[in-house]
């Protein structure tokens, strides 16, 4: 099946095809009507030809009957018959045959025995069988009969009358052979082709015909043709309307034919005129459809080019279509749309700079309304250590530039892991993993982002050191759990954020980084949700405003500078177990050994100070190794 990609081509093909279809249908309809009219005309002419043929036979029969009657009443012929001399009778018959131009004269007895005949036959040939026509004459009121019959294998028109003396004493027969001369004479009268055929078995034998190739007629005729009904025969590549009629009981049929082309000749001029009209209409419609299609497709192509520019983000160029029709209205609507898209992108770009792009997309894709939904989210809090003192030593412009550089580095690390910067709180960052979009591994993403923030901070501090600026230290806390995420604020001013106890816990954990001297702390729930990392358990704490204790961990990247190896971690966790079991001595010894090997780690010194304090003032009996923090 052909598919035209061009609208112009489809439009042209449609109009031209429609014209050709209509013209073709009209041409076929006219051609069929002409063919039917020609057939009706030929059928009428053939019916006239058949009547002419019947009248010709009737006229010849009447003439032959009259001639036979004259011979029957001839005294000399009666005298010859009474003499019984065959030679005299044969001479009289031949004399009469010559006078009436007959082809055969016969004399038969009432007992159907041949007395004399002018038909020349080979010696010993059988007598002619006239039983059927004699029987017909016996049955007629006039005692006469006329019939087409075979005499010696050839068709003859035979008339039979009685020889009266004064009563019938014999039968006189006169015959005219139906040969080429007969059909030629009939053709001159009717202007139709005339053929005489005789049934031979399952086929036909042509006795006489005016056709140039009569044998083709016998082959094309076939069986099953109904006499008196016309039909079309293809002879030598030309259609001939034919009519068949029987002649007597000898199986002889006359076939009258007229060529269909001759009847259609008057219509050929009309057909030619229709063809010329169709060709002219085709050329005009092709040109007109092309002009109309070009007038439609040119502005459409302009719109398509503009649409592609819009697809690439170019909303600045309007479409100039100087038309007042529907296409002009479409161009105007398109220009309005591009201006709306440009405005939308300006709003989106501005919103994307004010809030995280993912939050902006969430806000733009839904109806803005107050409310939220419960989500499983990992919350990351980050803060600069000693920012107050840093602020006092620098001018506001310098401080703002430093802060923007810091926040840019940190935001890149967060967004690289699919995190969303919820807000900047001065020097602090609040980031979300799992809202508004969840990834299934948000806790692991938050930890990877925090570790990447540490690497970004190292790179930033190198740049600051080169510029003679103070270096920055940060603390990061992460907690995972159920929160309420959604649009919060007033009906006129909304902010997409998360709230809940787990958000507060993440903020409290971030504050613990100062106490434990580590840059990153996560909660037990975050560690459980991201088992693919190496962790060092720091403590079990109860933060401000929370009654349930929380185990906190430090994620580490093995192989990084300052990161303890597997042996050191195992010894540390054993010391932590001794500590929680109040086994001060082995705990302190293990921590002392660890501190000597890693003097830079403040965690070991922290636990040794606690052990020293507990040795001086043992904890209460219900002490479970939980450190309580009453401050943020």
pLDDT grade, residue 313 (50/70/90)? low
- The answer to whether residues 540 and 551 touch, using CB atoms and an 8 Å cutoff, is yes
The pLDDT score that the predictor gives to residue 461 is 93
448 and 569 assigned to the same domain:
no
412 and 543 assigned to the same domain:
yes
For the CA atoms of the chain, what is the radius of gyration? 62
Q: In percent, how much of the chain has pLDDT > 70?
A: 83
Q: Which of 85-94, 337-346, 426-435 has the highest mean pLDDT?
A: 426-435
Q: Is residue 362 part of a domain?
A: no
375 and 513 assigned to the same domain:
yes
Going from the C-alpha of 55 to that of each of 58, 245, 463, the distances in angstroms are 5, 14, 130
pLDDT grade, residue 364 (50/70/90)? low
Q: Report whether pLDDT(350) > 60.
A: no
The pLDDT score that the predictor gives to residue 260 is 75
Q: Report whether pLDDT(394) > 80.
A: no
413 and 460 assigned to the same domain:
yes
Distance of CA 243 to the CA centre of its chain: 53
The pLDDT score that the predictor gives to residue 371 is 55
Q: What is the mean pLDDT of residues 57-73?
A: 83
539 and 604 assigned to the same domain:
no
Joined tokens for residue 42? 């030929």
The pLDDT score that the predictor gives to residue 280 is 79
Q: What is the mean pLDDT of residues 374-389?
A: 90
- The answer to whether residues 293 and 19 touch, using CB atoms and an 8 Å cutoff, is no
Q: Report whether pLDDT(479) > 50.
A: yes
pLDDT grade, residue 317 (50/70/90)? low
428 and 485 assigned to the same domain:
yes
| Alpha-carbon torsion angle 593, 599, 601, 605, nearest 10 | 60
Torsions phi, psi of 246, nearest 5?
A: -75, 150
**In 3D, which of 307, 310, 308, 303 has the Cα closest to residue 330?**
303
pLDDT grade, residue 351 (50/70/90)? very low
Q: Is residue 94 part of a domain?
A: yes
350 and 429 assigned to the same domain:
no
- CATH label of the domain that carries residue 411: 3.30.70.1230
Least confident segment among 357-366, 371-380, 413-422, 460-469: 357-366
Q: Is residue 274 part of a domain?
A: yes
Instruction: Show the DSSP H helices in 73-150 as ranges.
Output: 75-83, 86-100, 131-139
Q: Which of 76-90, 310-324, 586-600 has the highest mean pLDDT?
A: 586-600
Q: What is the mean pLDDT of residues 113-130?
A: 80
CB-based contacts of 620, cutoff 8 Å, min separation 6: none
Burial class (CB in 10 A: 0-12, 13-18, 19+), 28: exposed
Least confident segment among 92-101, 234-243, 335-344: 335-344
Q: Which of 20-34, 304-318, 333-347 has the highest mean pLDDT?
A: 20-34
Q: Is residue 394 part of a domain?
A: yes
Q: What is the mean pLDDT of residues 562-583?
A: 90
SS3 164: strand
Q: Report whether pLDDT(272) > 80.
A: no
- The answer to whether residues 171 and 137 touch, using CB atoms and an 8 Å cutoff, is yes
Q: Is residue 360 part of a domain?
A: no
Distance CA 377, CA 393 (A): 38
543 and 622 assigned to the same domain:
no
Q: Which element (helix H / strand E) includes 457?
A: helix 442-466
pLDDT grade, residue 475 (50/70/90)? very high
Joined tokens for residue 486? 């959604």
Distance CA 137, CA 144 (A): 5
Q: In percent, how much of the chain has pLDDT > 90?
A: 29
- CATH label of the domain that carries residue 135: 3.30.450.20
Q: What is the mean pLDDT of residues 318-341?
A: 68
Q: What is the mean pLDDT of residues 109-136?
A: 82
Last residue of a domain, one of 541, 560, 579: 560
Q: How many domains does the chain have?
A: 4
Least confident segment among 139-143, 340-344, 479-483: 340-344
pLDDT grade, residue 11 (50/70/90)? low
Going from the C-alpha of 439 to that of each of 432, 485, 532, 582, the distances in angstroms are 12, 15, 16, 43
The pLDDT score that the predictor gives to residue 613 is 94
Strands (E), 460-549: 474-489, 494-499, 520-523, 534-542
The pLDDT score that the predictor gives to residue 256 is 83
Distance CA 112, CA 337 (A): 113
- The number of C-alpha atoms within 13 Å of 62 and in the hemisphere containing its C-beta is 5
Last residue of a domain, one of 503, 535, 560: 560
Q: Is residue 88 part of a domain?
A: yes
The pLDDT score that the predictor gives to residue 85 is 85
235 and 345 assigned to the same domain:
no
465 and 479 assigned to the same domain:
yes
Q: Sign (positive/negative) of CA torsion 532, 536, 539, 541? A: negative
**In 3D, which of 483, 225, 236, 280 has the Cα closest to residue 378?**
483
Q: Is residue 363 part of a domain?
A: no
573 and 432 assigned to the same domain:
no
Q: What is the mean pLDDT of residues 491-514?
A: 88
185 and 247 assigned to the same domain:
yes
The pLDDT score that the predictor gives to residue 527 is 96
pLDDT tens figures, 39-49 = 787 777 777 87
Q: Report whether pLDDT(369) > 50.
A: no
Distance CA 191, CA 187 (A): 5
Q: Is residue 519 part of a domain?
A: yes
Last residue of a domain, one of 291, 309, 327: 309
Higher-pLDDT residue of 248, 71: 71
Distance CA 110, CA 125 (A): 21
Least confident segment among 146-155, 184-193, 211-220, 535-544: 211-220
**In 3D, which of 4, 28, 32 has the Cα closest to residue 16?**
4
Q: What is the mean pLDDT of residues 491-509?
A: 87
- State the maximum Cα–Cα separation within the chain, in Å, rounded to a whole number: 188
- Tokens 């080979």 sit at which residue? 122
CB-based contacts of 381, cutoff 8 Å, min separation 6: 428, 429, 430, 476, 477, 478, 506, 507, 509, 510
Average of per-residue pLDDT values in the chain: 82
SS3 377: strand
pLDDT grade, residue 368 (50/70/90)? very low
Q: What is the mean pLDDT of residues 5-13?
A: 68
Q: Report whether pLDDT(224) > 80.
A: no
**In 3D, which of 234, 192, 194, 193 has the Cα closest to residue 216?**
234
Distance CA 381, CA 390 (A): 20
Query: What is the domain range of residue 321?
Result: 313-354
- The answer to whether residues 244 and 257 touch, using CB atoms and an 8 Å cutoff, is no
């Amino acid at each position: 099946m052909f598919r035209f990609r061009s609208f112009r081509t489809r439009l042209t093909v449609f109009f031209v095809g429609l014209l050709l279809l209509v013209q073709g249908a009209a041409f076929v309809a006219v051609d069929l009507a002409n063919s039917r009219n020609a057939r009706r005309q030929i059928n009428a002419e053939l019916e006239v030809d058949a009547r002419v043929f019947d009248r010709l036979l009737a006229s010849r029969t009447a003439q032959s009957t009259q001639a036979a009657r004259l011979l029957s009443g001839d005294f000399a012929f009666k005298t010859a018959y009474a003499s019984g001399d065959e030679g005299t009778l044969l001479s009289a018959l031949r004399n009469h045959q010559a006078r009436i131009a007959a082809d055969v004269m016969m004399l038969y007895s009432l007992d159907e025995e041949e007395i004399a005949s002018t038909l020349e036959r080979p010696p010993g040939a059988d007598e002619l069988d006239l039983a059927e026509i004699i029987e017909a004459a016996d049955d007629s009121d006039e005692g006469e009969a006329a019939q087409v019959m075979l005499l010696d294998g050839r068709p003859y028109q035979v008339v039979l009358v009685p020889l009266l003396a004064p009563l019938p004493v014999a039968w006189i027969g006169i015959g005219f052979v139906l040969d080429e001369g007969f059909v030629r004479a009939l053709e001159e009268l009717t202007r139709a082709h005339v053929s005489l055929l005789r049934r031979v078995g399952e086929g036909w034998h042509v006795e006489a015909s005016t056709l140039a190739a009569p044998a083709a007629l016998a082959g094309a005729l076939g069986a099953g043709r109904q006499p008196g009904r016309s039909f079309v025969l293809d002879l030598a590549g030309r259609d001939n309307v034919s009519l068949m009629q029987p002649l007597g009981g000898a199986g002889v049929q006359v076939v009258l034919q007229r060529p269909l082309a001759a009847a259609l000749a008057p219509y050929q001029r009309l057909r030619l005129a229709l063809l010329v009209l169709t060709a002219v209409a085709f050329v005009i419609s092709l040109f007109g459809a092309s002009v109309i299609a070009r007038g439609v497709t040119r502005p459409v192509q302009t719109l398509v080019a503009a649409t592609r520019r819009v697809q690439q983000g170019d909303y600045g160029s309007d479409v100039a279509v100087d038309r007042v029709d529907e296409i002009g209205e479409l161009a105007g609507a398109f220009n309005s749309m591009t201006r709306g898209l440009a405005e939308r992108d300006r709003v989106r770009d501005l919103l994307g700079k004010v809030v995280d792009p993912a939050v902006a997309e969430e806000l733009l894709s839904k109806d803005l309304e107050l409310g939220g939904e419960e989500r499983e989210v990992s919350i990351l809090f980050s803060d600069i250590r000693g920012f107050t003192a840093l602020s006092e030593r620098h001018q506001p412009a310098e401080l703002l530039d430093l802060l923007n550089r810091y926040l840019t580095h940190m935001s890149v690390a967060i967004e690289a892991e699919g995190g969303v910067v919820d807000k900047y709180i001065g020097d602090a960052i609040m980031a979300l993993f799992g809202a508004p979009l969840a990834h299934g591994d948000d806790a692991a993403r938050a930890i990877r982002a925090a570790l990447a923030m540490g690497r970004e901070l190292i790179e930033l501090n190198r740049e600051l050191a080169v510029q003679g600026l103070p270096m920055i230290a940060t603390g990061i806390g992460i907690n995972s759990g159920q929160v309420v995420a959604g649009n919060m604020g007033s009906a006129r001013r909304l902010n997409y954020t998360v709230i809940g106890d787990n958000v507060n816990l993440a903020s409290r954990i971030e504050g613990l980084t100062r106490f434990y001297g580590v840059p990153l702390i996560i909660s037990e729930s975050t560690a459980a949700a991201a088992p693919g990392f190496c962790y060092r358990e720091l403590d079990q704490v109860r933060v401000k405003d929370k009654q349930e204790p929380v185990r906190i961990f430090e994620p580490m990247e093995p192989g990084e500078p300052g990161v303890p190896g597997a042996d050191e971690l195992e010894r540390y966790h054993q010391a932590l177990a001794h500590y929680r079991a109040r086994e001060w001595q082995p705990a302190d010894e293990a921590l002392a050994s660890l501190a000597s090997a890693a003097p830079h780690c403040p965690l070991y010194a922290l636990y040794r100070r606690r052990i020293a304090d507990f040795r001086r003032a043992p904890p209460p009996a219900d002490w479970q190794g939980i450190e309580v923090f009453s401050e943020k």
